[in-house]
Structure 1
Amino acid sequence: MVFAGTNISLSQPDITQKLTERIDDLKQKIAAWEKRIRRFSERSRRFNQNRLFQSDQKRLYKSLEQSKVCGAGQGPDQADIIAFWRGLWSEPVNHSEGPWMEVVASQGASVTPMDPITITPQDVAAAVRRAPNWKSPGLDGLHHYCLKGFIVCHAVLARQFQEALDQKSLPSLFTTGITHLVPKDQDTTDPSKYRPITCLPTIYKTLTSI
């Protein structure tokens, strides 16, 4: 029996020594690759930080100040999650509008209404082209990457968007999202220590970006 890629055979008298040498050689190669990967990761991290510094310094400093959160701990009980967030989302709240609302309403009365908008397939194509490929989708489960390839859908979407604007009504699917709870710190058992992030459908995000 001969090991693939080597000249080592079980019939050799010094098989133990050769296997030991081979194992040591593989360990050295693994260690070398580990160092190369570590250097590449560090170089990529510095490159991304420099690019983020040029585009959004606030976001960079915020990412440097935030401590790493481990989300691998035990999650909260589902009943506790429902009880906590139901109190925030399901119970009606009577907001007391201040006098500033009247000021805003009076100022808005003199604003000239915007001309009617006609959405064309070119508008849809431009909005899809600007969008990131793999942003988290909503209930539609659709990524912008797919819309960029399915060019024949742009005319259909433009017609549906125009109908929604003319009727001044959006389908409920457009504004129904999927909410994910992201832990804010190490205490993953407390429902109040989570940040809700709602992912809206990609179709709706395309409409709002036109």
Structure 2
Amino acid sequence: MHRLFAELEPSVTVTEQNLADRVRYILRSNTFDVTELERLRREAVPSSGENAAAEDAAPQLAEQTANVDAAVNTPVVVDSNDDGTVAQELELEQMRSTLEEAIVETRSTPLENRPRLPHSALSKRNRAVVRALNPMLVTYLEASRDLCETDSILFGAALAVCRIIGAKLSTAGRATGQSSAIPAWRIRIEERIAKARALIGRLICFRSGNTRPRIVRTVRMAFAGTNVSLSQPDIMQKLTERIDDLKQRIAAWGKRIRRYTERSTRLNQNRLFQSDQKRLYKSLERPIVSGTGPVPNQADTVAFWRSLWSEPVNHNEGPWMEVVASQCAGITPMDPVIITPDDVAEAVRRAPNWKSPGLDGLHHYWLKGFMIIHMVCPRSELHEVSEHKDAKAASILSLLVPLPIRIYLDFNADKIHTTA
């Protein structure tokens, strides 16, 4: 590439590295589309019919083009034209292979060990990669058996996109990559409290008659900058005053930490009360202490529960049941609620792109980009959750479906009939 540039522009002095950096910047910033780049290449190198020298330039152009691609060292260059077709240097088979590897890897990885997906730039190049992988997910999603597997496939697709566009992925899992929730000022205060307690212990040892060199050196450092000397007759009173001063400081620092803890707990409880009252009340309940007595006999346990569940019981509800049934006979049943792919797409559209994800680590951006998932969400998985109300399936649903859809399902769970 540098040799060809020197022949075309002999007046411009540029190094090979500088030239490769400029080409990389032009391709990554999408300054020119594919058509414009081809036109510039044709103008830079004469055609094969002009002269004999140009005949040698055609294979040289192909060679230099390959060198440019190698020098740029980009994983994939993807762009889209007006017809919506995808122009890419990485073949579709390689993209499909990357997608397959990412899905297989995600299926065998626990949720807490999944890599943290970075925020992708909203560029034409990245959107074109998502559109290219979107039809490839049809085969995997049609074979999906439950919501957990559907979520795993979607995360694998997002992971494949990040690898294709060259995004930086964290090697450690999300559980180990989280930063400490303790603020820095609290850590500093706790270190001051630990040092003050250690100093109090040394001062008490000296007051008790321990005159080892290490203890004496610490006491002198404690009274540094003052007019107190260890040979003074009232040194014991000075030691007591110094110990009391340190204890008061420790109490003040501890009170500051307690005020922060109480305020933080109060704010978290207020937020939780607004979002999930059931979870708040459950957290306020005292833990039940299990008994430490002997384990009950297995035969007695089976006999106890068999007497409750195996014996038929005839309930006499009374005449009020007939009154209620007659009153409800004239009520018109509610029309079935049909969740369509448009409903799912509308709910996903209103969600923020990079809002903090749930346990699965999947942002709303990927739910918007992989539009094939809009056809899968209203399918049998939601029907299974609405009819059987399985707690485990509902928890998996909360990881995959955005909040607007979950609220919609909670209010209409008894009347929902979904369609594909």
Above 0.5 in TM-score?
A: no
TM-score range, shorter chain: 0.3 to 0.5
Structure of higher RCO (CA pairs closer than 8 Å, 6+ residues apart): 1
Greater gyration radius:
2
TM-score relative to the length of structure 2: 0.25
Higher-helix-fraction structure: 2
TM-score relative to the length of structure 1: 0.41
